Amino acid sequence: MPHTGQQGRTLHSRAVIAATEFLTDSGRIPPLPIVAEHLEVTPEALFGIFSSEQHLLEAVAENALMRLHDQCVRTVVAVEGEDPVAQFHALADAYLEWAYLHPREFRIIGLMPDAEFRENERLIRYENSIHELMLRLLTRAKAMGRLSPDENLPLLIAVAHAYSYGVASKMLLGDMSRWAPGINALEIARAAMHIFTQKVLRP
């Protein structure tokens, strides 16, 4: 039976929320007994779900990537007209907004070693699902003549991922605001991503 608590949340969900708050406030997750005290449960109850602080940190990353996946899908579906270019723009906006609203989680996932990321089936599943969504959009764009016929789509996805991660990182560091004073950092980042997609996808 799952542990239940405030507002019907499972202990797992409550611990993830608490860990995220600790990360936001201090940049780290405290020892599990302190998290348990914060949640008003016994350390044994929490250790029954999470074997270590690292395990809890991975759960935070899984939850963050799940939110990103859901936000990407909702944003793309909301675009009218089934235009793959407009949907790709929307997908980029969703990623940047997620990073802007969840900077700690963005950094946790971005700094996770590749081997560690690959070992987590949930993280791989969410990432693959986002990449599959990108592939569907680019395949449609290619069929409509908005990409070169010989475009390497998996490589283009990798480049888009790397570019968007760099833009988001610079946005969170404050560099975007310094380079374009007077403009909101998120808006600058969105403009940068739109320039990228406009260069890659023909109007």
Tell me, what's the pLDDT at 9? Answer: 56
CA Rg value for the chain = 19
Are the C-beta atoms of residues 5 and 14 closer than 8 Å to each other? Answer: yes
CA 45 to chain centre: 29
Classify domain 54-200 by CATH number.
1.10.357.10
Q: What was the pLDDT predicted at 203?
A: 59
pLDDT of 161 reads: 92
**pLDDT digits 0-9 by tens, 52-71:** 999 999 999 999 999 999 99
Looking at residue 77, its amino acid is V
With a cut of 50, which residues of the chain have pLDDT below it? 1-8
Percentage above 90 pLDDT, the chain: 59
The sign one gets for the Cα dihedral 6, 9, 12, 14 is negative
Amino acid at 135: L
Sketch the domain layout of the chain as residue ranges: 6-47, 54-200
